[in-house]
Structure 1
């Protein structure tokens, strides 16, 4: 810690939270990670983080929103660079419940939306009695 109370990057076993989130590839830029921290959208071991210079260490648990999902991450290691994805994934353990796969298309077609399927046509024919 320096005299101003900021977490120093040279402190052994500690790293700025915005830098770590960027190293671990949760955010595309470090400034986006810093903005999330400054907005109070990140929790560090249950406490709300309001400054991007908060220090993170191995064993800490981070909770934050990413898109429409809440991520719960346990810090396993501190990185020293923003490397490739496999290197970034080694920095944390994901404690979030599994997210169900979202389909690209809605499996149910809205009534009157486009051309009927073969199944719809057979149902229509059965209603009219034309299918015999």
Structure 2
């Protein structure tokens, strides 16, 4: 099975076109070699690809005939992505939410003044040499 079809069947990407774009950008490797979208995958191949700021590492256990349901994905692949990668992603999400909530709009005048005041405190603290 082609690598683009396999990653689509395993539900890592919504469309095969998205997988093709990832392959063209050299985000997908099979057994350590950069893969084109037409690269054939076989059981025991190790696939590494970058998606959502995580480098996913999976081992092919079997080749499905069609796109499989989310509950059946584990029958066809073994996920070897380290848990630290997922923890790092959660930390990134939390750090983005810390500053401003989504949908709150542009910063107000008071927010801007607070940001400017914070920046000035850092600059003056460093100049006390």
Q: TM-score range by the shorter chain?
A: 0.5 to 0.7
Is residue 2:90 matched to residue 1:102?
A: yes
Deviation per CA, 1:48-85, whole angstroms, max 9, x where unpaired? Answer: 11x21100000000111110111011011101111210
Mapping of residues 1-132 of structure 1, within 5 Å: 15-49=1-35, 51-98=36-83, 99-100=86-87, 102=90, 105=94
Superposition RMSD on alpha carbons, in Å?
2.3
Deviation for aligned residue 1:88? 2.1
Q: Supply the distance in 2 between the matched residues of 1:44 and 1:109 (Cα, whole angstroms).
A: 39
Where do 5+ consecutive residues of structure 1 fail to align? 1-14, 114-132
TM-score (norm 1): 0.64
Considering fraction of residues, name the structure with more helix. Answer: 2
Once residues 19 and 109 of structure 1 are traced to their aligned partners in structure 2, the CA distance between those partners, rounded to angstroms, is: 39
- Conservation of the 8 A alpha-carbon contact between 1:82 and 1:88: no
Structure-2-length-normalised TM-score: 0.66
- The number of residue pairs the alignment matches comes to 97
The structure with more radius of gyration: 1
Q: 1:108, CA displacement in angstroms?
A: 7.3
